[in-house]
Amino acid sequence: MKNIVDKFLPFDLGNEADYRAWREQKLLAYPTRIEELIVEIKNPQQLTSAEFEALHERCRKTNMVIYAGPTGSDPDKAIPKSLGKQFGLTELDCNMGADDDGVTSLKVVEGKWRSGYIPYTNRPIHWHTDGYYNLPERQIHGLQLHCVSAAASGGENALLDHEIAYIHLRDTNPDYIRALMAANVMTIPPNNENGEQLRPARSGPVFSVLEDGSLHMRYTARTRSIEWSPDPVTRAAVEALNDFLDSSSHYIYRATLQPGQGLISNNVLHDRSGFDDDDEHTRQLYRLRYYQRIAGT
């Protein structure tokens, strides 16, 4: 246990004093309206210092911000990439669906392997954090979305700061946190296709504390292709989390990103409603997954 002596340890269940102090600061003037999270910017590739500070301040408070830029349906991937870079987000995860540059274009794709994966359909996606099936050393700590074009209807994202989910569960029952921090509480079975194993089974905790002391969350609300530890406390913890995610809590934000808008986040919890495209409105979002958190948060 080196390097943690004298550190502030709010996520340590044995340290109630640090938790209480952190919790009080966290909830003090915490934004409860999505409008408070939206920051207008003039040039995403070169933020002014006032714009940067407005975006960064929200990220420090809620682990996320929504920017509204003037680029409309400009499909240049340099727009979200250079924006991410200004927040220290540079190490992109090259997942299976990403183009060579690590940027994934999310839109409805017919007839390719991608159509078997819900992100490439117009179906709803349950609550999750990104990359929950990644290796422990390849966890996603930063997540960015950038809207190029919106659907004719639907395609709304719900967003919840994972630190708020932690507070809700710890306040309900600290044993829930203990259960969800267990090293093998959530297992994703292997991904097999046509007899070939694309990914082995992956086990890991839901909540973990990173070396810098920040909280990481790995979660999916899907009920198929997921195995939870069978003990009653874990079951109750997962149920309490799902109840909170399905509630009308004012901590849950909802936003339908419009062209030129995007999300910068520390991989907060999110879902997506189903949507419909038409001839003039084809939803397209860029997704950028990073191994880093937003710098200075």
CB of 270 to Fe ion, least distance (A): 6
In contact, 80 and 288? CB cutoff 8 Å? yes
For Fe ion, give the closer residue by CB, 63 or 229. Answer: 63
For Fe ion, give the closer residue by CB, 130 or 163. Answer: 130
Is the Cα torsion angle 216, 292, 85, 101 positive or negative in sign? negative
For Fe ion, give the closer residue by CB, 130 or 277. Answer: 130
Residue nearest to Fe ion (CB): 130
CB of 157 to Fe ion, least distance (A): 9
CB of 128 to Fe ion, least distance (A): 6
Q: Which of 130, 161, 271, 277 binds Fe ion (CB under 5 A)?
A: 130
Candidates 4-12, 58-66, 125-133, 217-225 — which segment interacts with Fe ion by CB under 5 A? 125-133
End-to-end distance of the chain based on CA atoms, in angstroms?
23
Q: How far apart are CA 261 and CA 44, in angstroms?
A: 10
Candidates 36-44, 64-72, 126-134, 238-246 — which segment interacts with Fe ion by CB under 5 A? 126-134
Q: How far apart are CA 199 and CA 183, in angstroms?
A: 19
- Packing angle between helix 16-27 and helix 162-172, nearest 10 degrees? 130
Candidates 123-131, 167-175, 209-217, 225-233 — which segment interacts with Fe ion by CB under 5 A? 123-131
In contact, 118 and 127? CB cutoff 8 Å? no
In contact, 230 and 40? CB cutoff 8 Å? no
In contact, 291 and 112? CB cutoff 8 Å? no
CB of 17 to Fe ion, least distance (A): 35
For Fe ion, give the closer residue by CB, 170 or 218. Answer: 218
Number of residues that bind Fe ion (CB under 5 A): 1
- Name the residues that contact Fe ion, by CB under 5 A: 130
